[in-house]
Amino acid sequence: MNKLFFYIPGVYSIYTRYKGIKGTIAFIFKYIMICFMGSQAYEQFFNGFYFILGMFLMFTMYEFGYIQNDAETIKYEEYPTMRLTDDDLVFYEKHKGSIYASRLFYMLLLIAISYAIGIKILIIILAVTTIPVFLIYNHIRCKWNLHIHVILMFLRYAVPVFFSCNFANLALSCWMLAVHPLLIFMELSVKGKFGYQNKFLKKYILHVFDEKHVNTFRVKYFTVLLLGTILVAVYNIELKGFIWLSLYCWIFYVLVFLVERKKFRNN
């Protein structure tokens, strides 16, 4: 069987969303590392096994939605984004039963392990909501897709972090929302995806949606977030752990900005 990516959690994401060296680097630094840094906000509660468990559970469920989007939703779209080859789609149609059954088995196994080791039931339920939210996202195409997309991104980034320390609070939720989902929502709101465009953001925040302006916007965004995090931590020392998460994101996007600027100059 040469289509194992359909069956192994995480591999499907790399195959369809993070191809090549650049994609792999993006996968590590824009997802794995952000989740890891978020889990260190309350490092005294961090559990490495819980973190890995939450990551695999999220991959298993999130890829339910990815597979359906890439193989089923495209059938009803006028201009679909093709992430699977014709050969992949033929394999999917022949083996979709075993593909979804294996994913369901992994999901139930990981949920059972999570419950057995004492992961709080509300965190498990939050993780499981990924599937119905993704199903809704895949079955509608309107301006609300962008808002549902924010929920999906939040679950994707927050669930492994909640697992890692086995609790969730408002501060942790807000920071995990801010470090990626909110940023992407603002960018796509300017781009006008799904027929929705935020005129306020386009006029005052991000005037032009292209690589150069987006990279500049991200540096400004994380500069504000970092300064805001430091200010909040001054008044509440218990939140000092969030400084490292914000600092990591700021350093990462500054480096991206510098690399891309050099590339533009060379061209």
Structure confidence at residue 109 as a pLDDT band (50, 70, 90):
very high
> Would you place residue 264 in the very low, low, confident or very high pLDDT band (cuts 50, 70, 90)?
low
Give the separation between CA 208 and CA 191, rounded to whole angstroms: 8
Q: Is the pLDDT of residue 67 over 90?
A: yes
Res. 1: pLDDT tops 60: no
Percent of the chain with pLDDT over 90: 58
Report the chain's mean pLDDT, rounded to a whole number.
Answer: 89
* Distance (Å, whole) CA 61 – CA 114: 14
Q: Which of 125, 126, 134, 239 is nearest to 178 (CA)?
A: 239
pLDDT of residue 94: 93
CA dist 43 and 182 (Å) reads 24
Question: In the prediction, which pLDDT does 54 show?
Answer: 96
Q: What tokens does 123 get?
A: 């965190």
pLDDT band for position 199 (cuts 50, 70, 90) = confident
pLDDT value of position 205: 80
pLDDT at 118 (0 to 100): 95
Q: What is the 3-state secondary structure (H, E, C) of the chain?
A: CCCHHHCCCCHHHHHHHCCHHHHHHHHHHHHHHHHHHHHHHHHHHCCHHHHHHHHHHHHHHHHHHHHHHHHCHHHHCCCCCCCCCHHHHHHHHHHHHHHHHHHHHHHHHHHHHHHHCCCCHHHHHHHHCHHHHHHHHHHCCCCHHHHHHHHHHHHHHHHHHHHHHCCCCHHHHHHHHHCCHHHHHHHHHHHCHHHCCCHHHHHHCCCCCCHHHHHHHHHHHHHHHHHHHHHHHHHCHHHCHHHHHHHHHHHHHHHHHHHHHHHHHHC
Average pLDDT over residues 40-45: 88
Is residue 265 over pLDDT 70? no
Give me the percent of the chain exceeding a pLDDT of 70: 97
pLDDT at 200: 78
Averaged pLDDT, 89-96: 94
- What local confidence, expressed as pLDDT, does residue 173 receive? 94
* Mean of pLDDT values over 71-94: 88
Q: What is the mean pLDDT of residues 91-117?
A: 95
For the chain, the distance separating the N- and C-terminal CA atoms, rounded to the nearest angstrom, is 43
Q: Give the number of other Cβ atoms within 10 Å of residue 77's Cβ.
A: 10
- pLDDT, mean of residues 3-23: 88
Which is nearest to 83 in space by CA: 5, 167, 190?
5
pLDDT tens readout for residues 111-148: 999 999 999 999 999 999 999 999 999 888 777 888 89
- CA pair distance 263, 118, nearest whole angstrom: 49
pLDDT at 237: 80
